[in-house]
Amino acid sequence: MTIHPKLDSVYIPSSDVVTREIEGDLIIVPLVRGIGDLEEDIFTLNETGKEIWISLDKQKKLKQVINDLIGKYPDDPREIEQDVLGFVNELLNRKMLVEVAPGNE
């Protein structure tokens, strides 16, 4: 089942992954089978991915994460939104992010 992110939802890192920062890179390590991709066990995020991950961990609505990035970077706002949605979509489908139930944010 494919999951698509919603702008008014809050997404947080799954409890089935841990993250570590090593020499400036953010590494995501799945703790259980079925998380991530069978061909890869450890994931490294680039600077933008790291910034999005940290913002999501603060339990912000996805639209707020996007607006924060739009305010910080000179890129086309539509491109930033699409990039964030694509990134979150990928992590949701890999079960590395989970949606917070409304009222629990």
- 3 domain-assigned: no
- 34 domain-assigned: yes
- 28 domain-assigned: yes
Residue 30: pLDDT band by 50, 70, 90 thresholds? confident
Q: Kindly tell me if the per-residue pLDDT of 76 is higher than 90.
A: yes
- 6 domain-assigned: no
- 2 domain-assigned: no
- 103 domain-assigned: no
Write the CATH number for 68: 1.10.10
Domain that holds residue 30: 11-98
Q: What is the pLDDT of residues 41-64, one digit of tens each?
A: 678 898 888 999 999 988 899 999
Q: State the pTM of this model.
A: 0.83
Residue position matching structure tokens 């933008």: 48
- 4 domain-assigned: no
- 105 domain-assigned: no
Residue count of the chain: 105
Report the number of distinct structural domains present in the chain: 1
Q: What is the dihedral of CA 87, 17, 3, 50, to 10 degrees?
A: -10
Residues 99, 15 contacting (CB under 8 angstroms): no
51/56 Cα distance (integer angstroms)? 9
CA distances (Å), 62 to each of 5, 22, 57, 59, 99, in order?
Answer: 8, 26, 11, 9, 10
Strand, coil or helix: what is 36? coil
